Structure 1
Amino acid sequence: MKNIAADVRFIGGLFIAHLLMYFTFQDKSIFWYIFSAALLFLISYSIIMEEVEDKASFGTFIAYGALSGVLLYGVFWLGYSLINLLNLPFLDQVDKLYGRFSPSLLWHYIVLILIIIPGEEIFWRGFVQKRLMKHANVTLSIVLSSILYASVHLYSGYWMLAFAAFIAGLFWGWLFAWKRSIPLVIVSHLIFDLFMFVILPFK
């Protein structure tokens, strides 16, 4: 595992990701512009540094991606329902997260689908997790990559967003390790986000 500390590409990618995400969350008025640019850069970095993996057929990644996206949304819906039922003091954070980071204009949805969702999966699963898997076992790689994925969301100022990213990261990390298909995980992420922001948002 100590060899990962000497992986210049890995360390450099994490440094760049943290730097870009720090600036992404600083100003709500330009959030979508900076977020889109940041993910475009991370996509380019990932593709240059690591081969994009896809070992699933078209039918497999569409079917498994869609089903897993609905399943993950269901897990989040149960969590939100429990918070609501117990009247826990987290509901205001959910409302604030939707108010600050939800897509609201047509171009937001376009970049979400074409840049942000693919970019997050290509970088965090296809680059970060894949390189970790070269130095550690699968379980440890999934957990560590999920922690790293969650860590950049702390710049938002909302711990709940970081926690949600950690849970989603574990799910998508396991899915990638199982099927070794970035397109599959992208479809899963896309379906999840469509439910979260369009079909059945939590507000």
Structure 2
Amino acid sequence: MLKRLTDVRLIAGFFFAHLLYFLTFQDKNVFWYIFTASMLFLITYAILNEEIDDEAPFLTYVSYGALSGISLFVLFWVGNSMLDLLNLPFSKQIDSLYNRLSPSVLWHYIVLLLVIIPGEEIFWRGFIQKRLSSYVNGWTSIVISALLYASVHLYSGTFMLPFAALIAGLLWGWLYTWKKSIPLLIVSHLIFDLFLFVIFPFS
């Protein structure tokens, strides 16, 4: 227990993440600039402090990544449809998030693909969850890391984004514990975002 509380690298990484996500959500006009820079910093911090796991063969991480990404999108689509059907106010938050944060120009999509998606998986699963798993069992590390991942999205000022991050974080955390493959998670996250922002956006 004492060792867990004195893991300076883990605590510092989480502190940096909160600070950087806080700055990221402050102004939508510079959101993509700050988010990109923040993820570059967190990627660097993670790879300097942890080895990147890649234990799944190519076909495994591509197939499982694609299947899990599509499944997560379907889950979110069903949830969004239920919100619309029940006419709950949270659906307006989703419209607002799309208007504020969705990629809108080519370079946004490029950094989403090359920096932000890999960065979130490398940092939150490959660093935060991996370090937590050395102190607690697999399921506990999945839940704690998903909660931590959701917590930095509170700065968006909405309920829906942290809730979505929690659900996605639980799935990706479970996949990481199961397959120990960051590339698998990156493929899953990429497919999910591709459907969310390009193929079948909710707004």
TM bin (shorter chain)? over 0.9
- Change in 2 beyond 3 A, CA 1:95/1:138: same
- 1:44 matched residue in structure 2: 44
Task: Give the secondary structure class of the aligned counterpart of 1:158.
Answer: coil
Structure 2 letter corresponding to 1:54: D
Aligned positions of 1:1-203 closer than 5 A: 1-203=1-203
Q: CA RMSD in A?
A: 0.7
* Cα shift readout 1:137-179 (whole Å, capped 9, x = no counterpart): 0111000000000000001111110010000000000011010
Distance 2:177 2:9 in 1: 21
Structure 1 letter corresponding to 2:105: L
Deviation of 1:133 after TM superposition, in Å, equals 0.2
Unaligned runs of 5+ residues in structure 2 are none
Normalised TM-score (structure 1): 0.99
Distance 1:2 1:147 in 2: 21
Distance 1:15 1:121 in 2: 17
Distance 1:127 1:50 in 2: 6
Deviation of 1:3 after TM superposition, in Å, equals 2.4
Aligned residues: 203
Distance 2:179 2:168 in 1: 16
Normalised TM-score (structure 2): 0.99
Identity across matched positions, percent: 65
Q: Following superposition, which runs of at least 4 residues in structure 1 exceed 2 angstroms of deviation?
A: none
Unaligned runs of 5+ residues in structure 1 are none
* Cα shift readout 1:7-64 (whole Å, capped 9, x = no counterpart): 0100010011111111010011100000000000000000000000011001111110
Deviation of 1:89 after TM superposition, in Å, equals 1.4
Distance 2:46 2:171 in 1: 21
